């Protein structure tokens, strides 16, 4: 089992920035690709960003491309989501997830482990 704990959420004004962190434990972190997802009120969970095991390959949802950056530090067993130029539409609970399957994926069903989520609220 892999345990994932998100942190760094909070309240920020539109145009501001936040950096989310996801600390992993329980298994070898470098064996997992990592992803960030979010769920806004009244909506389903949607893909935000994914990062390969090595940290070299990334993929972003079109809605966040150019504003968000996913990265990882395998020595610290931590994945990050740097969020810049935040918009009210970014308001959601953000979840990190770990994926043992080869390659990068956007589908929720392909991720094996999930954190508890951290709230991000962007005011207008």
Query: How confident is the model over 5-52, as pLDDT tens digits?
Result: 999 999 999 999 999 999 998 777 788 899 999 999 999 999 999 999
Q: For position 30, what pLDDT does the model report?
A: 81
Q: Give the residue among 18, 15, 20, 16 at the shortest CA–CA distance from 4.
A: 20
Residue 53 has pLDDT above 90, yes or no: no
Q: For position 26, what pLDDT does the model report?
A: 76
Tell me, rounded to whole angstroms, the distance of Cα 36 from its chain centroid.
2
Residue 37 C-beta-side C-alpha neighbours within 13 Å:
24
Mean pLDDT, residues 50-75 taken together: 94
Q: For position 103, what pLDDT does the model report?
A: 84
Q: For position 54, what pLDDT does the model report?
A: 82
Q: Residue 119 and residue 81: Cα distance in Å, rounded?
A: 13
Query: How confident is the model over 83-123, as pLDDT tens digits?
Result: 999 999 999 999 999 998 888 899 999 999 999 999 999 99
């Amino acid at each position: 089992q892999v345990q994932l704990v998100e942190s760094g959420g909070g309240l920020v004004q539109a145009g501001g920035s936040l950096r989310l962190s996801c600390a992993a434990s329980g298994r070898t972190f470098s064996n997992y690709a990592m992803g960030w997802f979010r769920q806004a009120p009244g909506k389903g969970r949607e893909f935000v960003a994914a990062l390969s095991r090595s940290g070299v390959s990334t993929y972003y949802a079109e809605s966040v491309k150019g504003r968000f950056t996913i990265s990882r530090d395998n020595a610290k067993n931590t994945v990050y989501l740097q969020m810049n130029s935040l918009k009210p539409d970014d308001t959601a609970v953000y979840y990190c997830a770990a994926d043992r399957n080869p390659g990068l994926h956007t589908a929720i069903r392909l991720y094996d482990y999930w954190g508890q989520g951290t709230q991000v609220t962007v005011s207008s």
